[in-house]
């Protein structure tokens, strides 16, 4: 039986829906990969898949998370406080040491760097105020959704760093499935200075942001086959937030004390059209998203979930 037909003749659709709804949300995300029928059922019948990802703004100075409203249309968008340190993690260090290092499945991953970089890690669900301390690991941790496995490096002392040289720049990728390190094709353009480039994520793909000496920012996105870079964005005299700045049809830009959103006009470009370069000129002021000092802000993707953190706890084995 073909994968696209798996589960189609065995169970009526309404029975399949009831079964899938009984699974925890994190499991439903994995079983979406079983076949097209299961993917469509989960996408159409579960709230977490119908929710549109929005921007989460993290104030690095005050350790406060804000969430932006609907980014799907160019109207006046509001933002509100989502979480702050004193509300759910009162036992942690002062705010300046507490940083958000990532978001996934509606959860915030926080790291307390008071003692040393890479300190205590805690998971927080801002929708339920649940907190779950994460046991320390020997080194880096990565999650691979298709298998549901977490991967860490045991020989952490053998990790290598790569020096920068403008004539021999490269990006190195680590495949979580094959556990292989491969060299990605060299940078598509040279930055104005050694610190004028950084990696980003654009609609689930690897991207690289390069800033020239004139202040123009160009963004390339790696194709699926990892064979070449596609030139996707051009911003004149605008900076973009890190690590995320693309949210569907909305592009976020940084100004001195605010974050603005820019949208396509009259079908000139769309996130699904990979052949058109998106251009944001300095005359385009955009829509005000939030009043926050740019140097203290980092942006992430966020989708609300009420999934309990208890499913991530290790089972207790009785002696």
Six-digit token string for 56: 């989460």
Which residues, 6 or more positions from 39, have their beta carbon under 8 angstroms from its beta carbon?
32, 33
Is pTM, for the whole model, over 0.85? Answer: no
253 Cβ contact partners less than 8 Å away, ≥ 6 residues apart: 235, 238, 239, 240, 241, 245, 259, 260, 261, 262, 280, 286
pLDDT computed for residue 231 by the predictor = 92
Compute φ and ψ for 232, nearest 5 degrees.
-115, -35
| pLDDT number for residue 219 | 94
pLDDT at 95: 53
Answer for the pair 33, 44: CB distance below 8 angstroms, yes or no. no
Q: Is 76 helix (H, G, I), strand (E, B) or coil?
A: coil
Q: 272: which DSSP letter?
A: T
Phi/psi for 17 (5° steps) reads -60, -45
Residue 248, both tokens: 């569907």
Can you say how many angstroms the Cα of residue 31 is from the centroid of all Cα atoms in its chain?
Answer: 21
Q: What is the pLDDT along the chain (319 residues), one digit of tens a residue?
A: 444 444 455 778 888 888 888 887 778 878 887 888 888 888 788 766 666 788 999 999 889 999 998 777 766 668 899 998 765 454 554 556 889 999 988 899 999 887 777 788 999 999 999 999 988 765 555 666 666 665 555 544 454 554 545 445 567 777 767 777 777 767 777 777 878 888 899 988 889 999 988 889 999 998 876 668 889 999 987 889 999 999 988 899 988 788 988 887 644 455 555 556 788 877 677 888 888 887 789 999 998 888 788 877 766 555 4
233 vs 271: CA distance, rounded Å: 11
Distance CA 169, CA 65 (A): 34
And the tokens for 184?
A: 């990605």
- Of 289, 305, 252, 249, which is closest to residue 51 (Cα–Cα)? 305
3-state secondary structure of 62: coil
DSSP helix/strand/coil, 124:
strand
Q: Which helix (H) or strand (E) holds 96?
A: none
């Amino acid at each position: 039986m073909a994968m696209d037909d798996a589960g189609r003749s065995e169970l009526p659709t309404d029975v399949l829906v009831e079964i899938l709804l009984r699974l925890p949300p994190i499991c439903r995300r994995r079983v979406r990969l079983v076949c097209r029928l299961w993917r469509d059922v989960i996408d159409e019948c579960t709230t977490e898949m119908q929710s549109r990802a929005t921007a989460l703004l993290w104030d690095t100075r005050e350790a406060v998370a804000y969430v932006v409203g609907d980014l799907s249309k160019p109207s006046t968008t509001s933002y509100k406080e989502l979480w702050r340190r004193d509300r759910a993690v009162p036992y942690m260090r002062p705010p300046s040491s507490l940083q958000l290092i990532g978001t996934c499945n509606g959860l915030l991953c926080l790291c307390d760097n008071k003692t040393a970089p890479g300190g205590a890690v805690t998971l927080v669900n801002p929708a339920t105020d649940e907190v779950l301390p994460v046991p320390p690991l020997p080194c880096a941790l990565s999650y691979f959704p298709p298998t549901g496995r977490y991967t860490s490096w045991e020989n952490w002392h053998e990790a290598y760093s790569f020096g920068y040289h403008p004539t021999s720049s490269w990006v190195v990728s680590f495949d979580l499935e094959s556990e292989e390190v491969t060299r990605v094709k060299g940078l598509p353009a040279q930055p104005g200075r050694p610190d004028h480039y950084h990696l980003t994520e654009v609609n689930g793909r690897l991207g690289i942001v390069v800033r020239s000496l004139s202040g123009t920012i160009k963004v390339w996105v790696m194709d699926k086959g990892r064979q070449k870079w596609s030139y996707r964005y051009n911003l004149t005299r605008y900076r973009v937030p890190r690590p995320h700045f693309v949210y569907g049809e909305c592009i976020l830009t940084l100004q001195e004390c605010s974050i603005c959103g820019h949208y396509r006009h009259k079908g000139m470009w769309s996130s699904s059209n990979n052949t058109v370069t998106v251009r944001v000129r300095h005359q385009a002021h955009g829509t005000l998203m939030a009043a926050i000092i740019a140097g203290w802000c980092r942006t992430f993707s966020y989708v609300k979930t009420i999934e309990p953190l208890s499913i991530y706890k290790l089972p207790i084995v009785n002696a």
